[in-house]
């Protein structure tokens, strides 16, 4: 058993190979198989209306809340490839199922990489045969194979009582509400009926992955899947399971935030004092997406005026004359006016905490995680496809 990742819980095997999809020659295909005895599964997907072919295939496959395997590739998103893209995703699913002796609809497919290039199917076909023949305790290799511009693989593992939850994730840019450009696979050996799995995943995603907003962009490929093997023989109660699943999601989310493209700061933005949690979330996202706020963070500049200018455009109840802002716990703006010493607040550390009270006395509150807007972000994203 691995100590972390998707093969840390019992009942899962994984493999990774180099199929030649990535120009770098790094491993670029992975397969994770749930060996049972149970095959409960749940998933959440991108809200983008332009969805990649593998998302369509996987959404259909998980429709019956059962999955036995997930096939991954990195280097090509198989998005915006028309009917050929759809056919390729279906073929990938079918070939993986055949290699594993499973029915096609028990296999999910996840792709990440460049949009608008046809999958190199010759390489993919050979890769599927190859990866299906190397299954074992190779969760960490799988986590590495799904990386794109990620600088480190992301894995997690949290113990329950006699059972555990493991996971892996990739994603570095195009991260915004309704998931980041992220692929996440979570595994557990607990006995968890599919309906419980689904509710726990939606709840955990709402307060972890869906609060991460790196650049306001939402990918065509975002997918988070959870599979439960039941191999531990233990059935935790719903709250117990939900708590451990949340821990794993939070851990992976934090790793995604820390490895976001060009990040030099991890910024947490909390909003309170508005009427509902939803309005607080709107306000936090508006601040977290503001380029001027993000540039100020990059410069360690306590320019709270930009926070006020940003939040003034948010769809949220506020008292424009009674907004307060705190940087790293220190008041920089009270009643919409600068607080003494505001310009001297030290933001030179990696973590910056921004708290905003919109001053209505309402009980709504929410937190969003984002990063700064750095030269490296521009550098990485101005030279990707060519």
Interface segment toward its own copies; rule CB under 8 A; list 182-190, 228-236, 245-253, 283-291: 283-291
Has 56 been labeled as part of a binding site? no
> 261: annotated binding-site residue?
yes
Binding window for its own copies (CB under 8 A); candidates: 88-96, 223-231, 236-244, 287-295: 287-295
CB contact at 8 A, 28 and 73: yes
Q: How many residues does the chain have?
A: 386
Site for its own copies contains 302 (CB under 8 A): yes
- Residue ranges in 191-230 that form contacts with its own copies under rule CB under 8 A: 215-220
Q: How buried is 206 (Cβ within 10 angstroms: 0-12 exposed, 13-18 middle, 19+ buried)?
A: middle
DSSP one-letter code for 338 = E
Q: Compare residues 131 and 323 and give the one whose CB is closer to its own copies.
A: 323
Q: Measured from the CB of residue 265, what is the shortest distance to its own copies in angstroms?
A: 11
- Of 200 and 307, which CB lies nearer to its own copies in the complex structure? 307
Q: Does 120 bind its own copies (CB under 8 A)?
A: no
Q: Binding residue for its own copies (CB under 8 A) from 157, 306, 355, 365?
A: 306
- Rounded to 5°, the CA angle 277-281-200 comes to 70
Give the closest residue to 369 by CA, choosing from 288, 251, 290, 282.
288
Q: How far is the CB of 188 from its own copies (least distance, A)?
A: 31
What the block records as the tokens of 42 is 């749940």
274 labelled ligand-binding: no
Q: Which three-class secondary structure state does DSSP give residue 1? A: coil
173 forms part of the interface with its own copies (CB under 8 A): yes
Name the strands in the sheet holding 69-76, side by side, starting at the edge strand that comes first in the sequence: 12-17, 29-34, 69-76, 107-114
Number of residues that bind its own copies (CB under 8 A): 68
Q: Which is nearer to its own copies, 21 or 142 (CB)?
A: 21
Instruction: State the DSSP string of 247-276.
Output: HHHHHHHHHHHHTSTT-S-EEEEEEEEESS
180 binds its own copies (CB under 8 A): no
The stretch near its own copies (CB under 8 A) out of 90-98, 126-134, 237-245, 303-311 is: 303-311
Residues 341-370 touching its own copies, rule: CB under 8 A, are 342-343
Work out whether 308 is an interface residue with its own copies (CB under 8 A): yes
Phi then psi dihedrals of residue 326, to 5 deg: -125, 130
Q: Cα-flanking dihedrals φ and ψ of residue 200, to 5°?
A: -65, -40
Q: Which of 269, 318, 352, 354 binds its own copies (CB under 8 A)?
A: 318
In the three-class reduction of DSSP (H, G, I as helix; E, B as strand; rest coil), residue 371 is classed as: strand
User: Is 148 known to sit in a ligand binding site?
Assistant: yes
User: x/- site string to its own copies, residues 132 to 171, per CB under 8 A?
Assistant: ----------------------------------------
CA quadruple 19, 182, 227, 168: dihedral sign: positive
Stretch that binds its own copies, among 5-13, 78-86, 153-161, 183-191 (CB under 8 A): 78-86
Q: Where are the beta strands (DSSP E) in 283-329?
A: 324-327
Catalytic, 181? Answer yes
Between CA 12 and CA 165 the distance in angstroms is 11
Region for residue 347 given its phi and psi (left: phi exceeds 0; alpha: psi -120 to 50; beta: otherwise): alpha
What is d(CA 336, CA 67) in angstroms, rounded to the nearest whole number? 53
Catalytic residue among 7, 46, 181, 274: 181
- Cβ-contact 12, 38 below 8 angstroms: no
Q: Which of 87, 112, 234, 118 is nearest to 175 (CA)?
A: 112
Q: Which of 114, 199, 234, 243 binds its own copies (CB under 8 A)?
A: 114
Span interacting with its own copies, options 16-24, 34-42, 80-88, 131-139, rule CB under 8 A: 80-88
- Known binding-site residues for substrate equal 148, 170, 181, 261, 381, 386
List residues with catalytic annotation.
Answer: 181
Binding site for its own copies (CB under 8 A): 47-51, 77, 79-82, 84-85, 114-117, 173-174, 176, 215-220, 289-292, 295-296, 298-299, 301-306, 308-313, 318, 320-321, 323, 333, 335-338, 342-343, 373-375, 377-379, 381-386
């Amino acid at each position: 058993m691995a100590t972390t990742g998707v093969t840390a819980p019992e009942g899962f095997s994984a493999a990774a190979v180099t199929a030649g999809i990535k120009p770098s020659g790094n491993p670029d295909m992975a397969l994770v198989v749930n060996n049972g005895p149970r095959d409960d599964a749940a998933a959440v997907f991108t809200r983008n209306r332009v969805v990649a072919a593998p998302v369509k295939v996987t959404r259909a496959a998980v429709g019956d809340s059962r999955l036995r395997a997930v096939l991954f590739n990195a280097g090509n998103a198989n998005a915006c490839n028309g009917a050929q893209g759809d056919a390729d995703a279906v073929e990938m699913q079918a070939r993986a199922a055949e290699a594993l002796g499973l029915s096609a609809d028990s296999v999910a497919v996840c792709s990440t990489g460049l949009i608008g290039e046809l999958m190199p199917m010759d390489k993919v076909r050979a890769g599927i045969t190859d990866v299906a023949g190397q299954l074992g305790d190779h969760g960490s290799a799988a986590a590495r194979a799904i990386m794109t511009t990620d600088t480190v693989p992301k894995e997690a593992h949290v113990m329950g009582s006699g059972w555990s939850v493991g996971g892996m994730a990739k994603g570095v840019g195009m991260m915004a509400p309704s998931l980041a450009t992220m692929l996440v696979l979570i595994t557990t050996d607990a006995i968890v009926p599919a309906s419980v799995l689904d509710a726990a995943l939606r709840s955990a995603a709402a307060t972890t992955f869906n609060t991460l907003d790196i650049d306001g962009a939402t990918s065509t490929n975002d997918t988070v899947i959870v599979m439960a093997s039941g191999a531990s023989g233990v059935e935790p109660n719903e709250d117990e399971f939900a708590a451990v699943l949340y821990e794993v999601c939070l851990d992976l989310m934090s790793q995604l935030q820390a490895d976001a493209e060009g990040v030099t700061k991890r910024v947490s933005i909390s909003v309170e004092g508005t009427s509902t949690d939803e309005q607080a979330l709107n306000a936090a996202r508006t601040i977290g997406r503001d380029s001027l706020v993000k540039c100020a963070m990059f410069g360690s500049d306590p320019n709270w005026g930009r926070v006020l200018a940003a939040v003034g455009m948010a769809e949220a109840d506020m008292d424009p004359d009674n907004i307060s802002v705190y940087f790293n716990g220190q008041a920089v703006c009270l009643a919409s006016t600068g607080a003494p010493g505001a310009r001297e607040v030290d933001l030179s550390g990696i973590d910056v905490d921004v708290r905003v009270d919109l001053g209505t006395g309402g009980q709504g509150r929410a937190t969003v995680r984002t990063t700064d807007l750095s030269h490296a972000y521009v550098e990485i994203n101005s030279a990707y496809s060519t």
